[in-house]
Chain A
Amino acid sequence: MKKHLLSAADLTRDDAELVLRTAEEMRSLADRPIKKLPALRGRTVVNLFFEDSTRTRISFEAAAKRLSADVINFSAKGSSLSKGESLKDTALTLEAMGCDAVVIRHGASGAPHRLANSGWVRASVVNAGDGTHEHPTQALLDAFTLCRHLGKSHLGPGNGGDLDGRRIAIVGDVLHSRVARSNALLLHTLGAEVTLVAPPTLLPVGIDSWPVETSYDLDGVLPKADAVMMLRVQRERMDGGFFPTAREYSRRYGLDGRRMATLQDHTIVMHPGPMVRGMEITADVADSDRSVIVEQVSNGVAVRMAVLYLLLGGSEPAVGTTETALVEPVEPVETPLAEEAHA
């Protein structure tokens, strides 16, 4: 894997499958009495959140803590960020304190790229959502969830061909969705056939060149889908005139009980959250057996553990085969990757 995770495009198929396999190991931790590994002991992970986000920040925090990393949370409200300190000065401060990974959420597309490539910090940078650009760990956790439900391999996610030929419909505000961008890239990398469904006003210009199908017709896409991923539609988009009314949007692009009835038996329903119930998804769908929305959240922790481990730790198995590995002191694993990270 590369030193940073800025875009789902940074991941080759091998990289992505390694993350998914590692995440499966991490997930098995949840069944143990002590849900903690020493893998990143002595490492510092900073959660740098310029935008409000509860679930992503908590997910990264839990992931880092379960790997025994020291976690520093730095969010916009009540910090120097709200006093107009620049991204650069914040980065220099973090660098001076010595951190190994920066998990950044920022309202400006490309802010993680700037952080990673401007020479301000030496740490690994993980994009936790930037503007309307990307949210690669969300795509990884979605892929992980998809593999667990649709996977063909008995060995678990990441063991080859899980998503080959699977049809994934991503529905909603693609134009402003970093989740859609990352998922389109990653799911294509993993062999899935992605269809983006949205009104024409909410599809980006140039989408013809993306490795996906597009459709304006949700009803035509649903019966063939193996999974349906609903995107949040922010109510302020209505003011932008992207569609006439919330009601018309729901009628044409919302997932309700009637539409759910047209799905295949095995088809799952996903949502990255937070949901706008009654807008893009009705309560009966969100709470149905098909919905894996809550599972997505718990998988998020495992996937983010895998990402942090692989970026900071190394290539050796994270989870020991014996319980003793969990309590014995473990030296930080120095790998060529880790050395490069500090070069």
Chain B
Amino acid sequence: MQADIVLDVDALTTRFEAREGATVAVDAMSYAVGRNETLGVVGESGCGKSVTALSVMRLIQPPGRIESGRVLLEGRDLLALSETEMRRVRGNAISMIFQDPMTSLNPVLTIGQQIAEIAMLHQRLSRKDALDRAAEMLRTVHIPDQRRKLDDYPHQLSGGMRQRVMIAMALICAPKVLIADEPTTALDVTIQAQILDLLAELQETTGTAIVLITHDLGVVSQMARRVVVMYAGQKVEEGTADELFAAPLHPYTCGLMAATPRFASGRTGQHRTPLAEIPGTVPSLLTPPPGCRFAPRCAIAIERCRAERPPLTEHRPAHWAACWRAGEFRARHG
């Protein structure tokens, strides 16, 4: 069942130096994605999921710095490459799409220019050929009237179309891995579904591995086969989507599941329950607590949790969790 691993992130650590001190935004993060597979990376805002992705792409700028770890793309360690070599990889073997398509596209360049320049850069195509390829990609992402659209500017397109353009840009060089950082968060709900379907469709035809970063569990359940849960820069749980939804091990994951609003059944909504929330806030990463980072907010935390950081253990086959009392939360609270 193990698809051949395309991207293998191994103990990646990224630090930010600020006036007040240093923050370890990503702490020994590891995950892997295989061909034709979608990995979901879940966590609340600020947990480090985007920073991990940017670190993989080596787009972290000072005051941030990738401290240690390896990022193996088909066996090749990206962190060991020179900047010039890395530039040949970016947009080519590994691509990334971002959350807000309006601000992520250059307002003063045409769509055609922005897509074609990638082909011109990595595939050494002529301008004309590159624009042809761009039109082809627009067709692949189901944007009608491709030739005319090439001359349009981002502000002339709708949000959904802009995101499609971003996807076209990301896939034009047939990358092995596509990192999608909250691709649907800024879009309307109806458009969200379309974009996700598009991603799934493209994955089928190209076999691209997708790392889908999101805080929306609904998106994860639809798209991802395996899921990684992050909290305060660390991985707290990993497993298949089915497993995770059916039987989450880590109290945080349980909290996330519980916090998803459920629509009331019946017309009078008699099953309306108050929205469960996880009390407290994410700790400041400047002075992280010594033990488990979730301990201050955990309902079942014990002394050991606060003192000793729990290692990631395989509590069930292919299902890891970093918790001294894995599984007990669910058993207690259902």
Asked if chains A and B come from one complex, the reply is no
